[in-house]
Amino acid sequence: MSRAAVPGLPSRHPIGEQLPALYADDDLAQRLTAGLDTVLAPVFSTLDNLPSYLDPRLAPPDFLVWLASWVGAADDPRRPLELRRETVARAVELHRWRGTKRGLAEALRLALDVRTEIVGDGGAVWSATAGSDLPPEPDAELLVRVVPEGARAGRVDVDRVHEVVRAMCPVHVAFRVEVLTGPPADEGN
């Protein structure tokens, strides 16, 4: 998509109207400035709509890739446009939740349209009582179960799940991924 060549786009600020009265009736001056108006009209249009270009919910799809690079969001053009827009819009929030169960679950939902169950804490334990004995050694492995939902129900790219989990988990946390074809059996109980 090009914003440079929009046929017949009128200029909102014609140069010919801003010339001194001496040139207002000069045909050559008016034709020359009309040519400049044709060149400048897309520039003025883009500048007039700049806030829309910087809003991921309104920006043109090709501009969304650029916005994603600004906020460190992964942009996959194969995903639905609305999920891509939401990912860019919520990128700063997701960075804030990076390394938490909440952040991991939300990143997987936005990236793959899956529901996530995360079991384990990745080896983090603490004691609320000062001077007490250390708590028992925790299970250092995180179990990430994903259930496909929405348009992708039934097929999940396991490599992409691993990629997202690796990106969102602290580097010292080991994890295991299970892709379920339906809700876990204990959900109905």
Asked if residue 114 and residue 46 are part of one domain, the reply reads: no
pLDDT band at 188 (very low <50, low <70, confident <90, very high): very low
Average pLDDT over residues 88-109: 90
Residues in the chain: 189
Strand extents, DSSP E, the chain: 114-119, 141-148, 174-179
Segment 150-178, tens digit of pLDDT: 655 567 888 989 999 998 888 878 888 99
Q: Which domain holds residue 101?
A: 97-184
Asked if residue 108 and residue 175 are part of one domain, the reply reads: yes
Task: Indicate the number of domains in the chain.
Answer: 2
Contacts of 121 (CB under 8 A, 6+ apart): 138, 139, 142
Is residue 160 in some structural domain? yes
Residue 3 pLDDT exceeds 50: yes
Would you list the DSSP string of 47-91? HHTHHHHT-TTTS-HHHHHHHHHHHT----TTS-HHHHHHHHHTH
Provide the 8-state DSSP code for 169. Answer: S
Segment 122-140, tens digit of pLDDT: 666 777 888 888 777 766 7
- Give me the residues paired with residue 177 across strands: 144
Domain boundary among 14, 35, 51: 51
Segment 30-87, tens digit of pLDDT: 999 998 888 888 888 888 888 988 999 999 888 899 999 999 888 888 888 998 899 8
Residue 189 pLDDT exceeds 50: no
Q: How many other C-beta atoms lie within 10 A of the C-beta of residue 97? A: 16
CATH number, domain containing residue 134: 3.30.300
Asked if residue 177 and residue 116 are part of one domain, the reply reads: yes
Phi, then psi, of 100 in degrees rounded to 5: -115, 160
Please tell me the predicted confidence (pLDDT) of residue 138: 66
CA quadruple 111, 114, 115, 121: dihedral, nearest 10: -50
What's the predicted TM-score (pTM) here? Answer: 0.64
Asked if residue 171 and residue 109 are part of one domain, the reply reads: yes
Please tell me the predicted confidence (pLDDT) of residue 144: 92
Average pLDDT over residues 7-25: 86
Q: Which residue has the tokens 């270009």?
A: 53
Average pLDDT over residues 140-155: 77
Asked if residue 169 and residue 111 are part of one domain, the reply reads: yes
Is residue 57 in some structural domain? no
Asked if residue 101 and residue 45 are part of one domain, the reply reads: no
Asked if residue 39 and residue 110 are part of one domain, the reply reads: no
pLDDT band at 13 (very low <50, low <70, confident <90, very high): confident
Question: Quick one: tokens of 128?
Answer: 């609320």
Is residue 9 in some structural domain? no
Asked if residue 103 and residue 36 are part of one domain, the reply reads: no
Asked if residue 107 and residue 45 are part of one domain, the reply reads: no
Please tell me the predicted confidence (pLDDT) of residue 136: 74
Query: Cα 50–51–56 angle (5° rounding)?
Result: 110
Asked if residue 117 and residue 44 are part of one domain, the reply reads: no
